[in-house]
Chains A and B, each alone.
Chain A
């Protein structure tokens, strides 16, 4: 079942299309990574999903239907610009936001206690928000996001300003939710988090979708016919190798279009070279991001 269906949404401010004909889906029980450079239109896309901003055209379905005030209760949202009532204490804040999601106060109190215990913040439940550190405040914000057991969770830069321990805690929570069949949309600039957690990615640049699909698929699409080799002794000249890039211990060999990695391995063995490591070189998501965004940047005459 699809948790989110976004069909050809467009949002224009003045003459500038901030989001231009964007379509994608999120399946139940998957984490979709939303990436793109600053100002690409990620937050506007998320705000349109949340019905905070109305799209100029296109439509969005959440859990099979158009978003209503009731179906908002099935979504947990952690916005990029986050904050809580500074004068309110932790437990009252959590209960208030849970009640706005249609949750019974008593149930919210019990669940808030459980979640606070899990993040080891139960002792802080009667403290005012202004008395907490920024990171602690963000953890409370995460609790507010999931307190009502939502079916869809949307996180905009969730680990920004979290220390590594709390960031890991958050990632574990999200993976656990995914395993429970919940869907997660996660927007971040941290490519390692996308690689660690996401099943599929959606890359937006200048309001348009530039990459969309499974992580493994996208990586294979950007593979550049090169291999990483670690061996004893000097390789010497090898037929079919166009370039060599020395790494710490290994060497990346870029092959010409007529040579396959299999043929290269055979040639190395024939030359009597002891091969300790031989693997297909796959670009990191970071490299793909820089390549895609960089190419778009070069093609934009307005930028140059």
Chain B
């Protein structure tokens, strides 16, 4: 067998047998499953009481005297604030509010409660809103009043430039998969390149490097490690995607058919895999360079933070990317090799990405990978056998020229 493949096979099997790898691979589906179960069980445990509750009010406008029963809440009228306060302190009502005389012009409602809370509960707010609305619109037909309570259910359709219905439609259902995929992609890239860094550090600490280099070239060693650990990352992400598919179907069945309407296009899968591979390769060769100049795996991990933080920039800016997927800033993130994989995956769920943008982005990534691979090999040759000392910036630059 080719030596690079032998190294890759060794790295793959060593990594997937690691306890940390197994735990991490299983952690995602197990935690997600627990989350789903919790989402089903906990709301039942904290469901509001079925008992009808009383909320008092003082109407200083004089028009709020009907529709006092709103779901599980009954509104009780008081003539004065003093009366209402007395009822609250007696426990006859759970809270009360005063509708100010200038309510029509200001909308001001003064609410009094014995609870220390951030804001009124959702059920209470809805009940008060519906009570006010029903009285403001009294005299209108019942269906008009009901519509006023829920004035719209938006159903959006994305059209193509030629006016046809686009194959890729936006919305939550279309966004959720790229969102989950980008998180998984980021985690998988981090962990795979992390293993590479850790493996290099351990081999330096165990003094195995020189034995390996007596059989293979630095280029073969680097390529073998990158391929083997990339394959381990791919195993992990495939395991996650298979479990995500199963979990999302479960979630969909439980929370309305949100996921059922998902239509994941083939180009999403193809681009997802391309960007996973390119993103991983780019970060992996950087990590290899970092690993070769770091005396221990611990120091390597500290230095690697400089490169892992930029990878997650698109996650920080996700709301902006969602709102303006075609802005110049987002385009720039698409072309920067370190931010491109996550940005493209998120953008894919939101809008069409022009072919030329994808082509340029992929080309920049490939060229960056080749460039970084050449530099990492030079660092590999120079610093892999340097134990206990981290070279300075000038030394690193010199090694790029000399190696």
Contacts and interface: CB of A to CB of B under 8 A. Distances in A.
Interface of A: 47, 50-54, 69, 72-73, 75, 77, 79, 81-88, 96-97, 99-102, 141, 144
A98 to B, nearest CB: 9
Interface string B200-211: 000000111011
Contacts of A73: 215
A83 B247 CA distance: 45
B206 A86 contact: yes
A100 B385 contact: no
B327 to A, nearest CB: 48
A81 B6 contact: no
Size bracket of the B interface: 20 to 34
A265 to B, nearest CB: 54
B3 A54 contact: no
Given A81-B385, A100-B7, 9 more contacts: A52-B385, A75-B214, A81-B210, A82-B211, A83-B211, A85-B208, A97-B215, A99-B1, A144-B211
Identify which of A54, A85, A87, A100 gathers the most chain B CB atoms within 10 Å of its CB: A100
Interface in B25-82: none
A72 B212 CA distance: 11
B210 A52 contact: yes
Contacts of B108: none
Contact of B10 (A72, A82, A96, A101): A96
Contacts of B10: 96
Contacts of A99: 1, 6
Nearest to A68: B217
Contacts of A144: 211
Interface of B: 1, 3, 6-7, 10, 14, 206-208, 210-217, 220, 381, 385, 387, 403
10 A-B pairs with least C-beta separation: A83-B207, A77-B214, A100-B215, A79-B210, A83-B206, A81-B207, A52-B213, A83-B208, A50-B214, A101-B215
Given A69-B220, A85-B206, A47 B215 contact: no
Identify which of B1, B211, B385 gathers the most chain A CB atoms within 10 Å of its CB: B211
Contacts of B210: 47, 52, 77, 79, 81-82
A41 to B, nearest CB: 15
A77 B3 CA distance: 17
Nearest to B7: A100
Contact of A69 (B6, B212, B217): B217
Identify which of B1, B206, B215, B381 gathers the most chain A CB atoms within 10 Å of its CB: B215
A100 B216 contact: yes
Contact of A52 (B3, B206, B214, B387): B214
B218 to A, nearest CB: 8
Nearest to B17: A87
Nearest to A79: B210
Nearest to A144: B211
A172 B207 CA distance: 26
B2 to A, nearest CB: 10
B338 to A, nearest CB: 31
A77 B213 CA distance: 10
A69 B214 contact: no
A100 B210 CA distance: 13
Contacts of A47: 210, 385
Contacts of A50: 213-214
A225 B58 CA distance: 126
Contacts of A52: 210, 213-214, 381, 385
A87 B206 CA distance: 11
A54 B381 contact: yes
Contact of B387 (A69, A81, A97, A102): A81
Given A82-B207, A83-B207, A84-B206, A100 B213 contact: no
A288 to B, nearest CB: 30
A144 B217 CA distance: 18
Contacts of B6: 99-100
A75 B214 CA distance: 8
A72 B216 CA distance: 8
A72 B215 contact: yes
Given A69-B3, A83-B207, A84-B206, A54 B214 contact: no
A19 to B, nearest CB: 15
B106 to A, nearest CB: 73
Contacts of A82: 207, 210-211
Nearest to A87: B14
Given A81-B387, A99-B6, A100-B6, A69 B216 contact: yes
Contacts of B214: 50, 52, 72, 75, 77, 79
